[in-house]
Amino acid sequence: MKTIAFGALLIALAGMLRAGDDLKPGLVGEYYEFDEVIGDFPKIPADKKPSIRRVDKQVNVENSNSNFNNTNIDRGLYVKWSGFVKIEKQGKYKFFVESDDGSRLSVDSKPVVNNSGTHPMEKKGGEVDLAPGQHEIKLEYFQGDGQMGCKFSWAPPGKNEEIVPEAVLWHNVKAE
């Protein structure tokens, strides 16, 4: 009986290690460019492909008038970053998104920050209780016209706010 339980434990651990091996640093960024100025989060048609698809180590884009995050896109932009945040310690985590124009963040498919609408650089936050491990995140950003910027920060339990460090942001290799 102990041999069967130990064998099952080894199989489960091996599966977890294989799943972990499929993760690489950074978030997958899908950058969509639109010919028209957009004023809210767009509905992406199923057949529309991103203009740029790449891995970004962090989301820390200063507010400027052109060239969002080294893309040569300066208006009519929607970006979806997806991946995982690795949590070491149980507790309440505060997440913030500062953006010009709209942004929103979900953790484990639950809305945490909603900073929608067209506006100058503005920060909004939300809080979520997280257990140790990998948690799925989706950060969306849109920019209509004019200045643009987007920053993703957090305040782990007992710590000050900082840009979410690249050491805790991961994506599944299959998503590249």
- 32 membership: H or E segment, kind and range: strand 27-33
- Alpha carbon 167 to its chain centroid, in Å, reads 14
Helix then strand then coil, in percent of the chain rounded to 5, is 15, 50, 35
CA-nearest of 54, 58, 57, 83 to 71 is: 54
As a CATH number, domain 24-175 is: 2.60.120.1560
- 18 membership: H or E segment, kind and range: helix 2-21
What local confidence, expressed as pLDDT, does residue 36 receive?
86
- 161 membership: H or E segment, kind and range: none
How many CA atoms are closer than 13 Å to the CA of 110, on its beta-carbon side?
9
Q: What angle do CA 19, 25, 31 make, to 5 degrees?
A: 110
8-29 pLDDT, tens digit each: 333 333 333 334 458 999 999 9
Q: What is the rounded distance in angstroms from the CA atom of residue 19 to the CA atom of residue 143?
A: 35
CA-nearest of 133, 124, 125 to 85 is: 133
113-134 pLDDT, tens digit each: 999 999 999 999 999 999 999 9
Is 1 a residue whose pLDDT tops 70?
no
Is 176 a residue whose pLDDT tops 60?
yes
Domain extent listing, the chain: 24-175
Phi, psi of 121 (to 5 degrees): -50, 120
Sequence-distant (≥ 6) Cβ neighbours of residue 55 within 8 angstroms: 24, 25, 26, 27, 28, 29, 171, 176
pTM for the whole structure: 0.86
On whether the CB atoms of residues 135 and 84 are closer than 8 A, the answer is: yes
